[in-house]
A and B are shown apart, each in its own frame.
Chain A
């Protein structure tokens, strides 16, 4: 059994073998593997007795359920209006230059993916970014770089 298969079985065991468990199962896979591979999607379909197209169709609806390979750390910089006004462009530019990737891309070593996101619920402390599940408000380009460096060391 591959690690993905084992993970899916474990998640299905924990959340239950019903359609209502689909989201927590998919979220659990993304937590471990950072995205949903074809193997993972097919495996979920089999375990929950759904068609693979149905599982893919559901997954592809959600921004956080990526179906293309992502780096170990996913950076999401808020691009909505207040963060826009407070300088998200400079933050994105700084990270983009440091990691040598554009928004939407992943570094060669697979450590980082840089994405933009819609309002993250910290507008009074923008600009703000999420790295995986962790939140970093009140950013400056300098601060953002230091945080990314910390993650690079991990």
Chain B
């Protein structure tokens, strides 16, 4: 079958040429402005979900006047169906450290932190050893930048950047109001760059190979490649780096089991795409963006169970700080249960859809705002499975 899927090897590429410390040394000889221009030119957008242009984020933080600034690597990876950051941390941590050190140089930060989810504590021992070697190398190179680890303690919402700062400051992981944005007031209320693990590795690799090679991949809205976490009903689950901008159809041809009914793109907070839309769904910022989670469901799966699992997840992980999300998540969950039991008429689902509209406008952070993504896409495409 015709297939336009392109496998790429940038993130895990392992050769002497891209030895992280060599990339660092080479890059530090350039001016901060040049590095920022390259990043902007490359078109790299954040790989943690929100897709903000990385070069601009660094530029904004550089432009802030402050004695103290921070670089933070978001390794909280809690989105259901995502496991690529764990693999990156395990296999190429020096590329992450290097991206952070380059960022520190560009924005004028002396401290970097990696916020590692508590579920990945087993990685810590090995990582600390590699980090202490790296920190020593930084000192030897006379680079005024040191990196530290901070551990999470089992809270999905702490992946949200401002909740992550709160957690690092020893508080409940409750998202803050925005603005101010992290580039102005992040950790300890100082200008902060926070990037996803994978984003930081791409910054290292763009500094290594130049923006041209990166931008030659993907589409005008979605430059480059991305690491995908593929799970569910597939004979080949795992981690794959693919060129962005592919039709979902090609993805399913490669990874599906021949009986694919739907793909949840972007994890629990992402969108469910049914088979009839595989052809005209593009995976990328112009279509459906994803932090990497691709969960494949075949025809044996009940989409009611899928939605129920997601809603249970959100009801548990909502920080409870704002009412639309705290109450909304619970009501959505109870609502589909009531419809399933026949205690509510099918039309009640439309009331619940309106509730997700309210949540999108009134919830304080991305968690509550995006519950409507899975809810509406599953209800709209698999309504009869929810009711009967």
Contacts and interface: CB of A to CB of B under 8 A. Distances in A.
User: A and B: real partners?
Assistant: yes
Interface of A: 18-24, 26-27, 57-58, 61-65, 80-82, 84-85, 117-126, 130, 133-135
Contact of B122 (A62, A126, A133): A133
B316 A121 contact: no
Given A84-B309, A134-B122, A124 B231 contact: yes
Interface in B283-316: 295, 301, 305-306, 309-310, 313, 316
Top 10 A-B residue pairs of the complex, sorted by shortest distance between their CB atoms: A22-B170, A63-B154, A124-B237, A62-B153, A123-B231, A64-B154, A64-B153, A119-B80, A61-B172, A133-B121
Contact of B309 (A22, A63, A80): A80
Interface stretch (B1-9, B81-89, B343-351, B357-365): B81-89
Interface centre among B78, B171, B174 (most CB of A within 10 A): B171
B155 A62 contact: yes
B119 interface: yes
Contact of A58 (B81, B168, B172, B306): B172
A23 B167 contact: yes
Contacts of A23: 150-151, 153, 167-168, 170
Given A121-B83, A133-B121, A24 B151 contact: yes
Contact of B80 (A18, A19, A27, A118): A118
Interface string B205-243: 000000000000000000000000111110001110000
Contact of A82 (B81, B121, B305, B313): B81
User: Chain B contact residues (Cβ within 8 angstroms of A): what range?
Assistant: 35 or more
11 contacts: A19-B170, A23-B168, A57-B172, A61-B319, A81-B268, A84-B305, A117-B119, A117-B154, A121-B78, A123-B80, A123-B237
B79 A119 contact: yes
Given A20-B169, A135-B122, A85 B80 contact: no
B257 to A, nearest CB: 12
Interface centre among B120, B122, B231 (most CB of A within 10 A): B231
Given A19-B169, A22-B170, A23-B167, A81 B154 contact: no
Interface centre among A22, A58, A126 (most CB of B within 10 A): A58
A58 B154 contact: no
Given A22-B170, A121-B119, A27 B79 contact: no
Contact of A118 (B120, B150, B167, B317): B317
A125 B232 CA distance: 10
A119 B151 contact: no
A121 B306 contact: no
A81 B150 contact: no
Contacts of A82: 80-81, 231-232, 295
